[in-house]
């Protein structure tokens, strides 16, 4: 699914209560990953997530009080690799990284790969406008399935799609449940 998508009820509430300055309203997750997992493989996994989960390709346009969201056909992204001496540096780095997110520029799903002498970490940063607690469960399951498939040279099987955000929001807008 690509193109313009109506705002969902929670998205409308967020914009109404917080205004258009929602750039740093992110959710994040730090995962320990095997040191043998290369950045190119991680990038392949993230690319699969972008293809499979429409909302991860969402961009917002804010024009005065008018806010629109559209799902892009593809998103340019990179995984920044950060070498650190100890895990204590992760918090400072992720705080600065979070502050760089803009809802109207670039991807709302971003990653850092932390490399230490002892352990590697994958930091996932996703804006709350495109993910909630339930969606995290699906993303984590898909990540796990992808990494396991890559490690065992098997075919990647992602979670079955049920209903797109666009279809879900359009359905809710036709019922009393939206408001």
Tokens describing residue 179:
């408001």
Classify 52 as helix, strand or coil.
helix
Task: Find the helix packing angle between 133-151 and 39-52, rounded to 10°.
Answer: 130
Question: Is 175's pLDDT higher than 60?
Answer: yes
What is the model's pLDDT at position 71?
A: 94
Q: Which DSSP letter does residue 41 get?
A: H
Question: Is 108's pLDDT higher than 70?
Answer: yes
The rounded distance, in Å, linking the Cα atoms of 16 and 14 is 5
Q: Look at residues 82, 70, 140, 159 and name the one whose alpha carbon lies nearest to residue 108.
A: 70
For residues 133-158, give the mean pLDDT. 91
Percentage of residues in the chain with pLDDT exceeding 70?
Answer: 96
Question: Is 20's pLDDT higher than 80?
Answer: no
Question: Is 72's pLDDT higher than 60?
Answer: yes
Question: Is 178's pLDDT higher than 60?
Answer: no
The rounded distance, in Å, linking the Cα atoms of 153 and 135 is 27
Tokens describing residue 27:
């959710």
Averaged pLDDT score across all residues of the chain: 89
Question: Is 179's pLDDT higher than 60?
Answer: no
State pTM to two decimals: 0.89
């Amino acid at each position: 699914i690509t193109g313009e998508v109506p705002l969902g009820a929670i998205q409308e509430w967020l914009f109404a209560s917080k205004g258009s300055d929602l750039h740093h309203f992110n959710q994040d997750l730090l995962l320990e990953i095997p040191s043998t997992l290369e950045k190119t493989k991680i990038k392949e996994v993230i690319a699969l997530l972008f293809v499979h989960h429409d909302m991860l390709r969402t961009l917002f346009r804010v024009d005065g009080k008018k806010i629109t969201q559209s799902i892009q056909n593809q998103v340019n992204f990179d995984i920044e690799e950060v070498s650190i001496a100890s895990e204590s540096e992760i918090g400072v780095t992720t705080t600065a990284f979070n502050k760089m997110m803009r809802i109207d520029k670039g991807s709302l799903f971003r990653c850092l790969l932390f490399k230490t002498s002892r352990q590697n970490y994958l930091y996932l940063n996703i804006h709350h406008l495109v993910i909630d607690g339930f969606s995290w469960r699906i993303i984590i399951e898909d990540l796990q399935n992808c990494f396991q498939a890559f490690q065992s040279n098997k075919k990647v099987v992602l979670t079955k799609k049920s209903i797109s955000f666009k279809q879900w929001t359009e359905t809710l807008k036709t019922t009393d449940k939206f408001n």
